[in-house]
Each structure stands twice: as C-alpha cells, then as structure tokens.
Amino acid sequence: MQNTPSLIEKVFRAPKAELHVHIEGTLEPELIFKLAQRNRIPLAWSTVDELREAYQFTSLQSFLDIYYAGTSVLQTEDDFYEMTSSYLDNACQNGVIHAEIFFDPQSHTSRGIGFDVFIPGMVRALESAREKGISTQLIMCFLRHLPESDALKTFADSREWFIRYPEWLTGVGLDSSENGNPPEKFARVFARAKAAGLRRVAHAGEEGPVEYIWQALQLLESERIDHGVRSFDDPDLVAHLSDTQMPLTVCPLSNVKLRVFDSMGEHNLRELLQAGVNVTINSDDPAYFGGHVNENYQSIISALQLTENECYTLLQNSLKSAFVNAQTRDKMLMQLNAYWHADA
C-alpha cells in the first residue's frame, strides 16, 4: 500500500501552492486575544480555551458569526502585518512556495478601518515573505450577503490600491454566506473587474446548489471555482470542468467542519480526481477548521488512502492553477519535480 506515513511526510515537505486561504481566517485564538488586549476590544469569550471551544460549527453561517467577531480585533496596520506574517511563516513551514491570499475589505471598512490601514500592513508582510522564498498575491473578496451596490462601492474605493500595488493585488473573489446569494447578483462588479484586467475567482458549490457553479463560470467568468464539491450533482458540469481543466480549490477540513460531508471518508475528492477534474488542496480558514494546508493533505490522504500518484497530481495541480506567468509556473513545477523524483 502506497499510503504510508512516509508518503504524508513527503507531501509535507513538497513544494506546493495554496490558492484558497482567507487571511482573516488565519487568526489563531492566541493572536485574537493578544490584539484584543492591545486594542482594548471586548470579546464574548473569557479565555483562549473558551474561544476555541466555540469552534463547533453546524453550518457556514455559524462559522461566519464567530469569524466576523474575530476580525473586530484588527485595528491598525501593525495588526494586519502581524496576522499576515504569522500565516506566511506557517505557510513556509508547510512547503508553500506560492500563496494567493483572500481578504475581505468590507468586514473592515464597515468598522471604519480603511484601505490605507489594511493594505499597507498586508503588503509589508508579503514583501518580507519574499525574502524567505515564497511568492504571494492578494485577492480582494466581496461579501455576497451584502448588496451588489456595496461591492461596487468597495471596488471603486479599491482601484487606487490595485494601481499602486499591481504586483500584490491581482484579482477579485466572492465569499461569505452562499445560500440565497447567487453569483449572478455580482455580475456587474465582476465585469468591471475583468475590464480592469483583474483575475476572477468565486466561491460556489460548497453549501449552495450546483447552479451557482454554472453561474460563476458563465456570468462571472470565474477562472477558478473555490470549493465546487457539489459538482457531482451535475454530470455535464463534471465533464465541463474536466474538459476545460477549470481548477477547484477544495478545502477538506473545512468541508467536514461545516458539515458539507459528515466525515472525511465520505469526501468526493477522489471521484473528482478520477473524473479528470483539476482539484487542488487548501486550508480555507485554518485557525477555525483544524489545520493549515499540510493538515488538509494529511487528513484526506489518510481517509481516502490516496496513492503517491494522486498526491503528486494534487501538488502539481496547485502550481499549475496559480495566477502566475508561464516562466514562473514552469520554474515552480521544475522545483516540485526535482523534489518529488529525487529518489527515483
């Protein structure tokens, strides 16, 4: 059997990309309490352990309620720098050589925290991480439970920052509560993002119906589907995803934690792979869902008894699906191949 602790260890050390991680979802309870104390922000929990015990979610919304409470401690540029640096330090330890990081500006601007606070803080951390050999990009997500008018205003307010930091700010995304908030609701703002030359991704097919995936592809012209595990509800969609090699940024621990699947053993990742779908592994909100990207690999490898070839395919998919130029992609793939086949 190929699924052994040595295979998991090999995957742990392998060069990989992470394409679906919410920076606000990397806030560990310890850092939440540290920043709350520093900024004199009251919390609903008395201790770190009490907060961690609250991470028993029954749905996406039950998670988001705590998630947005956690973001309230982020007040200064240094707070955003510290949060982003903490994630990137962990990513390096997980073998991540390229990270595309989501952030939610509306969860900060609604509290009076402006782009001039969170963008410089995050960018400082990205610049520091480059010295450690990890390349990074930021993807600005719109909160789908808010009206599109709010997203349009957010996009207008962000334009000067996309122009100022084109190396770091490269795309837009769509996240937050999926049910009742179809992608078609945001067609206009995504059209403006495309006209501005930005990359586009969207959460779809996690809790929402398979139709949301079609909408993200056809109406938003999304270049990746975040989650997308409901694809199997429509064989025509699975065939389309396979034919086009449209990437799915799957987050196994999140899927189980939010009851998309009752257990990791019931996850459909292997079926997606066997259907030829371009699946990648990511952590989503690692502070809340039980682990960073390597823990997600470990959990799915163990539960599904993935083979060495399947693991290599997942790692390769992550690098192939990154929003980088061909030269950078080839360099990253060469790095993976040199590592993976070193003992061959």
Q: How far apart are CA 247 and CA 321, in angstroms?
A: 6
Q: Is residue 88 within 8 Å of residue 134, measured between CB atoms?
A: yes
| CB-based contacts of 99, cutoff 8 Å, min separation 6 | 17, 18, 19, 21, 88, 91, 134, 135, 136, 137
Is 20 assigned to a binding site?
yes
Q: Check whether 285 is labelled as a binding-site residue.
A: yes
Write the CA distances from 281 to 102, 226, 311, 316, 318, integer angstroms. Answer: 15, 11, 10, 11, 7
Task: DSSP letter for 125, please.
Answer: H
C-alpha 187/C-alpha 155 separation (Å) is 13
Catalytic residue among 100, 206, 207, 310: 206
Identify the CA nearest to 171 among candidates 145, 143, 202.
202
* DSSP annotation of 284: B
Does the annotation list 236 as a binding residue? no
The reply, when asked if residue 234 is annotated as ligand binding, is no
The reply to whether 206 belongs to the active site is: yes
Q: Is 267 part of any known ligand binding site?
A: no
Look at the alpha carbons of 95, 330, 284, 259 in this order and tell me if their dihedral is positive or negative. negative
Angle at 331 between CA 330 and CA 333, to 5 degrees: 65
**Residues at the annotated binding site?**
20, 22, 203, 284-285
Just list the catalytic residues.
206
Annotated binding site for substrate: 285
